[in-house]
Amino acid sequence: MSDDRDEACIFCAVVAGREPASIVVSDAATLAFMDVRQYHPGHVLVIPRRHVQDIRDADDAMASALMRVVAHVARAVASTFPNDGLSVWHSAGIGANQEVPHLHFHVHPRRIGDDVFRVYPAPPALPNRIALDEWADRLRLALSESGPPARWPR
């Protein structure tokens, strides 16, 4: 097994062919397959072939490859399965209820009123502009310290 897989990871086992999967699309960097749990038909998972826990560990090349396939799969799901819209999501870490610690995006057809993915359990806070600007400043600083792009909007 190569160093970029986790022997205990179910998604790494799918990538290695040790676990069955209904493959939708596969390329050198990614794999998309049907989720075994289908609330609505057409629920697809898109993963990197390389094991990383979540989006925070993905380099730019991996993130770009994943989003390209997510967009491609989303268009296919939308044109193939009944839906009133789609949800595309990734849960990063235990605080976000990530169930499998291998980066993955869900592409899930949605129906009006299905309540499959309720974002807020209660109405969210509406911070004032001063707080939002301060948080944006903090994020721009973190982004500038991590590299490109060289110019951030203000």
For 9-29, the pLDDT digits (tens) are: 999 999 999 999 999 999 999
The answer as to whether 146 is a domain residue is no
Return the SS3 of 67. helix
**Closest by alpha carbon to 104, among 52, 27, 154, 68?**
52
Return the SS3 of 88. strand
The HSE-up count of residue 85 (CA atoms within 13 Å, CB side) is 9
The answer as to whether 53 is a domain residue is yes
pLDDT band at 153 (very low <50, low <70, confident <90, very high): very low
d(C-alpha 72, C-alpha 148), whole Å: 26
Dump pLDDT digits (tens) for 94-152.
999 899 999 999 999 999 999 887 777 788 899 999 999 999 999 999 988 876 544 43
Token look-up 């993915």 returns 117
Dump pLDDT digits (tens) for 60-96.
999 999 999 999 999 999 999 999 999 999 999 999 9
The answer as to whether 103 is a domain residue is yes
The answer as to whether 142 is a domain residue is no
The answer as to whether 77 is a domain residue is yes
State both tokens at 32: 């998309």
Q: Give pTM, 2 decimals.
A: 0.86
- Indicate the number of domains in the chain: 1
Domain of residue 39: give its range: 10-123
Q: Assign residue 62 the CATH number of its domain.
A: 3.30.428.10
The answer as to whether 24 is a domain residue is yes
The answer as to whether 30 is a domain residue is yes
Identity of the amino acid at 22:
S
The answer as to whether 79 is a domain residue is yes
Angle (CA) 99-6-25 rounded to 5° is 70
